[in-house]
Amino acid sequence: MKISAIETLFVDGFYRNFVFVKMMTDQGIVGWGECSLEGKESAVRGAVQDYARDLMGRDPRSIEEHLRTMTRDSFWMNGPVLRSAMGGLEMAMWDILGKSLGVSIHTLLGGRLRDEVEAYSNAWYFGAKTPADFAAATELPLSAGYRALKFDPFGKAGFVQSTAELQEGVAKVAAVRTAVGPDVQIGLDAHGRFGLMSALRLLRELEPYDLFFVEEPLHPDDTEGLAQLTRHSAIPIVLGERLYSRWDYRRVFESGLVSLVQPDAIHVGGILELRKIGAMAEVYSVGIAAHNAAGPISTAATLQAVATMPNVQIQEMFAPQDAPWRDDLAHPPIAVSDGKVQVPQGPGLGIELDEHVAHAHPGQPRSLAMHSEGSILEMSREP
């Protein structure tokens, strides 16, 4: 079997875009991957084509060999653009391998330990501005059965958070805790925006609200600052969305900074790297809560890997609020029932992209603008 063609599809995802990889073979088997990278889609699509030159005509089932080609042999091997391109291509290879054998990827990884994973809802709060808005928005995920939520209540606050910004953020957290009661887990995402002084002050003010975790209160590369936060806060600190390989994770595990990490199947370079990071985390008694903010192919790939991990604690889902056409993009849709996401059971990834739906929703150039005017966090919940 040989790779005969590699294409990317640029698809509108409502408040971001999806980039899917289509890998074709001379035996007619098509593999799907995803390399979505918010705001940098042109860069990652170009990287896919750069790697494709070296992959054409080769057997897609030799996954470890091709990962070596895309890392060691290519010299440039890390960072979000290159790793995300690798991730999309690697997922497609696994999809082809599973389809060629008629088995799910999780079977090839040693077999699944679970059929479903407890999930937390993200993006449910987009467009909320006041504490009352945030409290009211919780009705959507709770009605869908979610018992864990994550959100960013910090508005446009930056490195130095003013007293007014601190009070506003804490008020939103308090409103959500009151709305959901004591039994729903709450995670916060600071998106790496704060300096150490602001983060220390914030975490102290948040302690009464029994938080599940705070994600990226500092820049994820600030190991010494994160160590100070860990020593001074009772709230668990988590990170991982902006770590790109097991070498990045090694320093986090060895430092003892976190008890839960969030590797992204796309951004770490695919399913196999995600599985290896999970195995490393287990040795350090660290849990896995895989980051998952992209489209349905990435979600399927993530679930194939985490279904085999004994240390999975929870799974991120951008649901129930997302692009209305998301469930039409891939079949069968990935099901969430009573706050648990079901692991796809078909061969390969267990889902197939519908190209007609993908082409009906072409991608729209947009910037991420996380903390400025036009931020996706300010978008209405209606497309």
Domain boundaries, position 30: 3-103
pLDDT, residue 135, reads 98
CA 332 to chain centre: 20
Three-state SS at 167: helix
Question: Are 350 and 115 contacting, i.e. CB atoms less than 8 angstroms apart?
Answer: no
Q: Decide: 349 and 32 in contact? Cβ < 8 Å.
A: yes
As a whole number, mean pLDDT of residues 63-86 equals: 94
The DSSP bridge partners found for residue 317 are 121
Per-residue pLDDT tens digits for 213-272: 999 999 999 999 999 999 999 999 999 999 999 999 999 999 998 999 999 999 999 999
Phi, psi dihedral angles at 312 (to 5 degrees): -75, 130
- Tell me the DSSP string of 210-256: --SEEE-SS-TT-HHHHHHHHHH-SSPEEB-TT--SHHHHHHHHHHT
In this structure, what CATH number is given to the domain that contains residue 231?
A: 3.20.20.120
258 and 181, same structural domain?
yes
pLDDT confidence of residue 320: 87
Same domain, 158 and 254: yes
In a domain? residue 353: no
In this predicted model, what pLDDT tens digit does every residue of 195-217 receive, in sequence order?
Answer: 999 999 999 999 999 999 999 99
Residues 138 and 230 in one domain: yes
Q: Are residues 85 and 132 in the same domain?
A: no
Check residue 344 and report its DSSP letter: P
Q: Is residue 137 a part of any domain in this protein?
A: yes
Residue 382's pLDDT is 58
Q: What is the chain's mean pLDDT, rounded?
A: 95
DSSP one-letter string for 49-71 = HHHHHHHTTS-TT-HHHHHHHHT
Q: Is the pLDDT of residue 381 over 60?
A: no
pLDDT value at residue 2: 98
- Domain of 50, CATH number, reads 3.30.390.10
pLDDT band at residue 25 under the 50/70/90 scheme: very high
For residues 288 and 335, membership in a common domain is answered with: yes
Please count the helices (runs of H) and the strands (runs of E) in the chain.
Answer: 14, 15
Tally of structural domains, the chain: 2
Which of 93, 73, 94, 72 is CA-nearest to residue 247? 72
Q: How confident is the model at residue 374 (pLDDT cuts 50, 70, 90)?
A: low
- At 264 the pLDDT is 98
Kindly state whether residue 281 falls inside one of the protein's structural domains: yes
Give, in order, the Cα–Cα distances in Å from 196 to each of 159, 228, 299: 8, 8, 33
Confidence of residue 93 (pLDDT cuts 50, 70, 90): very high
- Clarify whether residues 80 and 125 are in a common domain: no
Q: Are residues 259 and 152 in the same domain?
A: yes
**Is 91 inside a domain boundary?**
yes
- How confident is residue 369, by pLDDT bands cut at 50, 70 and 90? confident
Taking only the tens place, the pLDDT of each residue in 315-356 is: 999 988 889 999 999 999 998 899 999 999 999 999 999 999
Sign of the CA dihedral with 219 first, then 220, 224, and 226 last: positive
Shared-domain flag, residues 70 and 111: no
Q: Is residue 300 domain-resident?
A: yes
Residue at 123 is within a domain:
yes
Mind telling me the catalytic residues?
191, 291
Q: What is the pLDDT of residues 114-147, one digit of tens each?
A: 999 999 999 999 999 999 999 999 999 999 999 9
Query: Is the per-residue pLDDT at 67 higher than 80?
Result: yes
358 falls within a domain:
no
Q: pTM of this prediction?
A: 0.96
Nearest C-alpha neighbor of 122 from the set 145, 148, 159: 148
